[in-house]
Amino acid sequence: MDKRLKKAAEEGDIDMLYALLAQDPYLLDRIDQIPIVETPLHVAACFGRTHFALEIATLKPSLALKLNHIGLSPMHLALRNGYIHTARGLITIDPALIRVKGRERITPLHYVAETEQVDLLAEFLSVCPGSIEDLTVRCETAVHVAVKNHKSRAVKVLVGWLQRVNKEEILNWKDEDGNSLAYCNIYKST
């Protein structure tokens, strides 16, 4: 990535972004041609530069789907670095970003279940209900992840949501070791 573009992303300098695009209108297109790449959107997400991230995601939405060299999308990076406002901004561009499968097929929903960010968990389920069906490489749902990591508040949110939307059958889904969530009666104690 162009050093000036990286610096603009780190600083959230939208004016510099447009100055660079005026010089080279295909700048973002060339980045988009690379399958696994750190984009200016990744950089902005790492630094919590929400406005810059939204500008890039608006100009080139496909960059929000890209994984970097360690298998993380911009949404994953925003969450990992604690920039919740940036993550929320990205879902206003495309709620399906909650379903982007990063390293080990972990989605942002899996991540917030593991870290027990219950407000964000409820918000993600609300704007992208299909994300509850996404599985990691270990065939784990977000509920499996929350149980495995002893995140009882996240489990309550997830199970309550499954009950409200009549999708309790997901509790019977088995991970790669054959464990379902119904086997431990987790939902009966929530």
Going from N- to C-terminal start, the domains of the chain cover 1-93, 100-190
State which amino acid sits at residue 106.
I
Strand partners, 36: 67
Q: What is the pLDDT of residues 110-124, one digit of tens each?
A: 999 999 999 999 999
Q: What is the pLDDT of residues 166-179, one digit of tens each?
A: 999 999 999 999 98
Rounded-to-integer distance, Cα 127 and Cα 140, Å? 21
Q: What is the pLDDT of residues 130-165, one digit of tens each?
A: 999 999 999 999 999 999 999 999 999 999 999 999
- The helix/strand/coil state of 4 is helix
Confidence check: pLDDT of 94 > 90 = yes
pTM: 0.91
Fold of 1-93: 1.25.40
Rounded-to-integer distance, Cα 98 and Cα 92, Å? 11
Fold of 100-190: 1.25.40
CA dihedral 86, 89, 95, 97 (to 10 degrees): -30
> What pLDDT score does 182 carry?
63
Cβ atoms of residues 28 and 34 within 8 Å: no
Which residue is it, tokens 């994984």?
67
Q: Say whether 100-190 and 1-93 share the same fold.
A: yes
How many alpha carbons fall within 13 Å on the CB side of residue 36?
Answer: 7
